[in-house]
Structures are given as structure tokens and as C-alpha cells.
Structure 1
Amino acid sequence: MPTDLTPPGRRPRVLHLTQPVDGGVARVVTDLVRAQLADGMDVAAVCPDSPLTTHLHSLGAHVRHWRATRSPGPSLAGEVRQLARLIDEMRPDLVHAHSAKAGLAGRLAVRGRIPTVFQPHAWSFEAVGGSTAALALRWERWAARWASRVICVSEAERATGLRAGITGRWAVVPNGIDPERFRPAAAAPVRAGLAPLAGLDADAPLAVCVGRLCRQKGQDVLLRAWEAVRRQVPGARLVLVGDGPDHDRLRADAPDSVLFTGAVADASPWYQAADLVVLPSRWEGMALAPLEAMACGRPVVVTDVDGARESLPPSLAARCLVPPEDPGALARTVGALLLDPPLRASLGDRARRHVLSLHDVRQTARAVADVYRDLLGTRPAVTQARPLLTAGDAGADRTTQRVEHSEHRESIHS
């Protein structure tokens, strides 16, 4: 059933604000925009110029380009000013800010004048350390006043925020994926069509890791575990699907049994080609890659970080969760599953049924629409233009200055 958020006189405009423009965050935004447009909503998006902007425009969203770096830095004040102008031009009734950088700039630009949904997609203070983490945590505590609702993708992510002293109005909406796009297929013909696998033994046990090549996703831990996996399963091969800031370092440390695909437009063939999918993350909200792999009928091995246990059916959680930063436990679990095809088939079947019942993207879109309805239900049909950033807001200016002078050692979110 379409979701009707339309007040008398005019459809409310929802504006999605995002930076980063790749990886799981971009896929979540794309899926929400597609579903909301299909439900007849007036949808806009603001993000840096990228393939994402082209794709969102092709879906029918109103799109504006925002010149913004991935992490806070000296350009933040100018980014906030430009964002305020864009929001003022587009006159949304609700702003949905995705991830730490967009949540930072968006809340500084709007400051509660428009209903604002903030979706962290994993907390910023988990991505960094030392004084930078302390600064990020202080910001999240202070800026919670400017979020009409904080959407977390798992109960564990919400609990992490509460333990950190972040107060606000919470909603938990688990991530969802498209089960028609990600669906089971026989591995052998799929492998035959993937050029990077040309020349490999079609029967070689194959593990696949899909994700941005960065510290968060833990591919370095998987490479440290891989030698022990190969001792258990001598013919096994590992494919790292994706690109990112750690590409060169990981490739330099990888043995010949590890293949790198670089960025791919569609990861579904790689899930279908795999015997097993691995994601050894150091932190997550609720990663999409395990959900996509399970929708393809493949068992997954993931680290027991926020959202991971909630994303798995009990039969996989009991067998396929390993402690983070533990190459030995990771190697034992991956090796045992690569050696047991009947168990993999059974776990993969249960995984697909689990995703269909709890992680269909249409369920996610309906739950997000319920949050919007709650925030927009009493708003007038026409929203008056409003100032969004004033020179007199000294508190916001001081926060901007403190954050823009902090130096992040890595991207705020993958």
C-alpha cells in the first residue's frame, strides 16, 4: 500500500542530505528515495556531485550539488553556509541527514527550524580516537537538541548512543535490501562470467568480502587470518570487492591467493559466486553486505559489533559471529565453513528466509515513512520560507570553528 503523507493542499517535500556518496550510506539513500517516489512523495536530495547525484536525478528526485568534503576540516564553515542556501531554495518540510558529516553540517545549517531526522549509520566517535573522538562525542551530545528524531539501524546502535550520553527521541529502523536484486543463483555459471576469476579452478572454495577498503571494515584482520585459512583449506581463494583509502596497503600485504576487484557497480554476482561471505568490521550500525549476501542464499561470517547479531538469524549468530580484531577466531570459523558444503547450504537457506521476513527494503521504507508522518502530521500544507543560518548564533559558530580545526586521521564514516 502506498504511504500517504500528503497534507491538504500540497505534498510535503522530504530532503535527503548525504555525505558520503558511496558505499552503504548511498545505497540506503537510493533505496529510500526510490521507495518514497514510488509512494508519491515529493523527494529532494542534496549531496556532492557524484554518480549518486546522477542516479537520484534519474529516479525523479530534485537534486542539488553540495560542495562538501567527506570529513570535517577547514572548509566546514563554507559548506554549512552553502548548505543553508540550498535548503532555503528548496524549502523542504523535513530534512533527513545521513551519516556523521551530513548530520554535522545539516544540523548546523537548520538548527531545528525544520523537522530534522538524523541517521548516523554508525556513530562518528567510534571511527576515530583520542581528542578527535572526544570532540565528536561532545558534538553529538550537544547537537541532539536539533534532531527531531534519531533513526538507528539497530537496537545496539541506539544503546551505544544512550551509553555515550546522547539524549533525544529515538527510532530503530533496521536496514533493508531489495530481495529481487539480491537473490540466489548457482555459483558455477556466475563465476564463469566474472573476468577476475578467469583461469581459476571452478571448484576452489571461494570467500568474498564486500566493502569499502578502510579500517572500519577490517580487511586487514581478514588478511592476517587468511594464511591460517589456507592451511586448513589449501585451495581456497579470497576476493576483496571494493575500493578505498587502504587499497594500496592491503594489496601490498596480500598473498597471491587474494584477488582485488576494485569498485564494482553491482556486487550481487560476487555474493552469488561466493561459497562464504566475510565482513570483519571493527564497528558498524548494521552493515548491508551481510544482508545482501544472505538474500543471495550465502552464509556470512561477521564480527560481533553493533547490529551484527541483530542482522543474523539465531542459527547463523551461533556459528558465524566472531570477536572483532581476532584473526585466529576468524580463521577457524571461515576455514570450518569452507570445509562443510552441506552446512553452508543449510545456513544459506535459513539466511535467505530471514532476510525476506525481516529485512525487505519495503519494510524499511514504510517504517521511515511512519517517522516522517509523526513529524509532519500537524504541519501546515505550505511551509513559509525561513532564515536558516544567522550571524548571531554564537554557539553554532563556536561549534563550527571547533570542528573545522580538528584534524581527522581518516574518513568520518565509510
Structure 2
Amino acid sequence: MRVAPHILHVAQSVEGGVARVVTDLVAAQLAAGLRVSVACPPAGTLASALRAADRAVLPWEATRAPGHRLPGEVRRLARLVRGAEPDLVHAHSAKAGLAARLAVRGTLPTVFQPHAWSFEAADPVVARLALGWERFGARWAARVVCVSEAERRTGERRGVRAPWRVVPNGVDTGRFRPDGTRAVTASGPLVVCVGRLCRQKGQDVLLRAWPEVARRVPGARLVLVGDGPDARALRSAAPASVEFAGAASDAAPWYRAADVVVLPSRWEGMALAPLEAMACGRPVLVTDVDGARESLPPGAGRDCLVPPEDPAALARALTALLCDEPLRAALGVRGRAHVRAAHDLRHAADAVTDVYRELLGVPTAPVAGPNEGRKCIAT
């Protein structure tokens, strides 16, 4: 009798994009016939979503940043790995990638997925340490899976030598879809920014740009959807036309309500929010960081891309979109078609499964019944 391989996902980030990617991958991989479990901190959106769906969660206490707790976190994770006896470990983002590779040290096939490089996110001292670790730790990754070709090039350019695979992010185009409704009633044009309130996502740049947008587009409103460490500072700097909606368990209604969805990130691998917004048929405006150009429909960069950390350019581009309804409608239609063709979650999940298949050296096999037509790997 053939037994399906056991995949252990390791994640420290329990909120935001990484949590959504892991949740979606687990669901798709279970549907494809794999055995799957997740080691992650027991509190937060990720563990709650997995438990609600009756998924296997292995509680792993870990802080967001490396520090004096790291040795204990690595020991606890090593015990979890030994107890779970996975065939393959898939570590997500910087902290889990560091801990998992130290815990496993190449004794099992290990996939590392940065979800944006840690050395781009830190101050200069920590950035040097993070880059040194990524260069060294690559020896313990059987594959490094990047979510964009730009993310891969950034790693390679900075001296990370690894066996690469690029798997663009995907979203559930059934969940994120146009439905013809506006969930939020607005007296004027509505701009929505969905993301963790932190330096990476650049909401401070957006707030510096917003007064010029509000001056040139009477009645325009901006809503920031999300929570995070910068919430208090951002609230104190925000004008009256900016609303803070807090974290949302489902951002789809906000996307559908928006006239434009904006994400002024300082760095990314490939952000999920613009993909989700385009899947809902909404135009997006993003900063030209890793993965941004690859996430947009061909030719959309002229209207949908601005340089990072440039409030004046951001204000001009937002104003232009808000003042051009036919362009917004056209971009929404093109964006939806592009995401369905290039960034459907099923395609991304199948591509990750193909990575596992290569590393485990087993063929794909069809799965009967409700999963017919999907891929399964079995030993």
C-alpha cells in the first residue's frame, strides 16, 4: 500500500500574507492527497484558521525576530520535527527559515520560502547579519522557492547561492471575485490600502502623499485595513479623511468597495493584496519593488507602478486614477483576467507540489473521487 508523504510546514508569522499562503497551501495539499501538518505559534490567525478547518497544528513558541531565545526555539522545533517524522520540511519566511534549517541541518529535504528577503527589511547592522545567515543557510535548503523572478534575482545578486525555483503567488479566484456590490458606502472616491501596519508596507509614505490627493480630488477618502506595530504612529499622523478599519478577517468586501487599491511597499517578494484586489476586478497602484511588475497585467506598469518612498509620485498616480473612471474600469477587467490566467491558487499549489515530487523522487499520481484531476504524490 502506498503512503502519501508527510509535509511539515514551519511558520512563525501568524498574521498577514505568510499566514494566508500557508493556510491556502495546506488546504490545497490535503485536497491533493498529501499528509500535512504545521508547526507555528499557537496564537494568531494562522493557528486559528488551521484549527477551525481541523488541520494538524503543532504548537511552536517563537518570537518574530532572532535573539537570545533562538537556541531554545531551535531545540523545541527539532523535537517537534523528530516527533512528527515528516518526509519534507517547508519553512516560510525569515525566522522560521532560520530556525528550521538549524533544526534540520539537511537531514531531511528542506524547502525554504523567503516571502521577501530579511536583509532588505532590517537596519544596516541587522541586515548584514541577515545576509550572512542567508548566504550560509542556503546549504541546508534543497530548494529555495521565490515568489517572483525579481526576488530570486535579488537573492542571487546579494550572494545567496541556492537551488532556486520560482513559484509566483496565487490567490483563490473564487473567493476573491467581483460581485457587483459596494460593501462600504462612500460619499466620494474611496482608496483602500490592505496590509500590516508596519514599515515594510509603507503606509507612512501614503499618508504623506494623501493631503495632495485630497486637495485635488474633493471628497476622496482613504481607508487603511490592517493592524501592526506602527498603528499608533500612523494614526497620530493621519488627517481627518483617513479611516483606520483595523484587521479584517476577510478583505474582499474592502477590495470590492474601493475605487483604487494601493500598496506603497518598501520591499516585497510578491504582495498578495494587489493580486486579491485585481481578482476582485479592482485597479491597483503599487510601488516598483520585487514582484510588482510580475504581478501586473502586461503593459499596466505605466498606470499602476510608482517608485517606492516617493510621496509626490504616489499622489500624482493616485489622482490620475481617481479622475479617470474608464481607465479604472479597464484596469479592473484586465487585472481580473490576468490573475485568473497567471496567479490562480491552484496553479501555485500544484507548482509547489512539483517541487516536493522532485525532492522526494516520486511520481505524480491521479487522485480518485472529489480530487480527480489534481496531483498527488505517493510513495
1:374 and 1:57 mapped to 2: Cα distance?
30
Which of 84, 107, 114 lines up with 2:108 in the alignment? 114
Which of 6, 12, 15 lines up with 2:5 in the alignment? 12
Alignment of 1:171-182 (within 5 A): 171-182=165-176
Cα shift at 1:74 = 1.2
Name the CA shift for 1:378/1:35 in 2 (closer, same or farther; >3 Å): closer
Corresponding residue number in structure 1 for 2:87: 93
Which of 334, 344, 350 lines up with 2:334 in the alignment? 350
Q: Which runs of 5+ in 1 are unaligned?
A: 1-7, 193-199, 380-414
Which of 63, 70, 75 lines up with 1:76 in the alignment? 70
Is residue 129 of structure 1 aligned with residue 123 of structure 2? yes
1:113 and 1:250 mapped to 2: Cα distance?
45
CA contact (8 A) 1:241 1:263 kept: yes
Corresponding residue number in structure 2 for 1:153: 147
Identity level (%)? 66
Is residue 47 of structure 1 aligned with residue 40 of structure 2? yes
Cα shift at 1:129 = 2.1
Which of 279, 284, 304 lines up with 1:300 in the alignment? 284
Corresponding residue number in structure 1 for 2:294: 310
2:30 and 2:99 mapped to 1: Cα distance?
25
Corresponding residue number in structure 2 for 1:405: none
1:376 and 1:154 mapped to 2: Cα distance?
24
Q: Which runs of 5+ in 2 are unaligned?
A: 364-379
Cα shift at 1:56 = 1.4
Cα shift at 1:52 = 1.6
Where 1:238 maps in the other structure, the secondary structure is strand
Cα shift at 1:10 = 1.8
Where 2:334 maps in the other structure, the secondary structure is helix
1:221 and 1:187 mapped to 2: Cα distance?
30
- My pick for the range that moved more, 58-67 or 300-309, is 58-67
Cα shift at 1:205 = 0.3
Cα shift at 1:62 = 2.0
CA contact (8 A) 1:278 1:302 kept: yes
Alignment size in residue pairs? 362
1:60 and 1:367 mapped to 2: Cα distance?
24
Corresponding residue number in structure 1 for 2:372: none
Which of 368, 374, 394 lines up with 2:352 in the alignment? 368
Please tell me the residue identity of whatever aligns with 2:42. Answer: D
Which of 310, 314, 318 lines up with 1:334 in the alignment? 318
CA contact (8 A) 1:16 1:97 kept: yes
CA deviation map 1:231-284 (0-9, x unaligned): 110210000000000000000000010000111100000000000000000000
Please tell me the residue identity of whatever aligns with 1:15. Answer: L
Which of 188, 195, 201 lines up with 1:217 in the alignment? 201
Which of 226, 241, 246 lines up with 1:262 in the alignment? 246
CA contact (8 A) 1:187 1:274 kept: no
Corresponding residue number in structure 2 for 1:359: 343
Corresponding residue number in structure 2 for 1:138: 132
Cα shift at 1:316 = 2.0
Where 2:244 maps in the other structure, the secondary structure is strand
Bigger relative contact order (CA 8 A; separation at least 6): 1
Corresponding residue number in structure 1 for 2:373: none
Where 2:184 maps in the other structure, the secondary structure is helix
Corresponding residue number in structure 2 for 1:37: 30
Which structure 1 residue ranges, 4+ long, deviate > 4 Å from structure 2?
Answer: none
CA deviation map 1:75-129 (0-9, x unaligned): 1110000000011000000000000000000000000000000000000000012
Cα shift at 1:58 = 3.4
CA contact (8 A) 1:315 1:347 kept: no
1:58 and 1:275 mapped to 2: Cα distance?
33
Cα shift at 1:187 = 4.5
Corresponding residue number in structure 2 for 1:397: none
Please tell me the residue identity of whatever aligns with 2:211. Answer: E
Corresponding residue number in structure 2 for 1:319: 303
If the length of structure 1 is used for normalisation, what is the TM-score? 0.86
When the two chains are superposed, the root-mean-square deviation of aligned CA atoms in Å is: 1.2
1:371 and 1:102 mapped to 2: Cα distance?
19
1:329 and 1:265 mapped to 2: Cα distance?
31
